[in-house]
A and B are shown apart, each in its own frame.
Chain A
Amino acid sequence: KNQVEQSPQSLIILEGKNCTLQCNYTVSPFSNLRWYKQDTGRGPVSLTIMTFSENTKSNGRYTATLDADTKQSSLHITASQLSDSASYICVVNTNAGKSTFGDGTTLTVKP
């Protein structure tokens, strides 16, 4: 069964600090992996997309990594801001267009 596991479930950090969110998956056949940011009361918004051959991709203060061999991805947030408080969802897609969503990591950035 295709699964996406995210950790930690929730995280609290101080403004300005860095953090790393983890995503492990068993989805096959792998096509790509996306990280989404979901603010409270809003729909998810795509941050990054990574294909099989990509190891690292950055979007401003967000850097995603992918290890296709171990089927792990991480999202690193640098110099966190209060506006980074949100749920971060990892989504893995198959070649057939099927998507498997993780349950997300809820990040709270405190001043």
Chain B
Amino acid sequence: EAGVVQSPRYKIIEKKQPVAFWCNPISGHNTLYWYLQNLGQGPELLIRYENEEAVDDSQLPKDRFSAERLKGVDSTLKIQPAELGDSAVYLCASSLSGDGYTFGSGTRLTVV
């Protein structure tokens, strides 16, 4: 089993530029999560999908963040435009009907 695959692993961009992250969850996992993790803190939920439906996006800053999960499998998270404060690790996780997560290794974003 490949686990949750995220790409890229690292991304450095200038502020005001767009950026996108990609996540491929574990096969068969219907629930997919995007988390933001700042240094020294626990992950904070951005959005949760049940299949292709976003069932909890209350913490997603919708003015600049967007996400999609077409066909209920892999997902992309986009930031446009990026701000300095967006520098963080973006974690994707998946689960089978919400029963425990399997996390990806994350994408470390640095906005300069």
Q: Is the CB of A99 within 8 A of B45?
A: yes
Interface centre among A43, A91, A104 (most CB of B within 10 A): A43
- Please tell me if the beta carbons of B100 and A46 are within 8 angstroms of each other in the complex: yes
Interface of B is mostly: loop
Interface size on A, residues (CB 8 A): 19
Closest to B33 in A: A99
CB proximity to B under 8 Å, residues A28-81:
34, 41-46, 49
| B65 close to chain A: CB less than 8 A | no
Segment among B14-22, B70-78, B103-111 that sits at the interface with chain A: B103-111
Please provide the chain A residues from 71 to 106 with a CB less than 8 Å away from any CB of chain B in the complex.
Answer: 89, 91, 97, 99, 101-104, 106
Q: Which residues of chain B in 76-112 are interfacial with respect to chain A, using CB atoms and an 8 Å cutoff? A: 91, 93, 98, 100-106, 108
A42 x B45 contact (CB < 8 A) = no
Let me know if A103 and B105 touch, CB within 8 A: no
CB–CB B100/A101 < 8 A: no
Interface size on B, residues (CB 8 A): 18
Contact B103 A45 (CB under 8 A): yes
Which of B40, B43, B98, B105 is within 8 Å of A42, CB to CB? B105
Kindly state the separation between the CA atoms of A34 and B103 in the bound complex, as whole angstroms.
14
B4 at the interface (CB under 8 A from A): yes
Task: Take A34-B100, A49-B100, A97-B98 as given contacts and tell me if A42 and B106 are in contact as well, using a CB distance cutoff of 8 Å.
Answer: yes
- With A43-B103, A45-B103, A89-B43 given, can you name 19 additional A-B contacts, CB distance below 8 Å? A4-B42, A42-B105, A43-B4, A43-B93, A43-B105, A43-B106, A44-B91, A44-B101, A46-B100, A89-B42, A91-B42, A99-B45, A99-B101, A101-B43, A101-B44, A102-B42, A103-B42, A104-B40, A104-B41
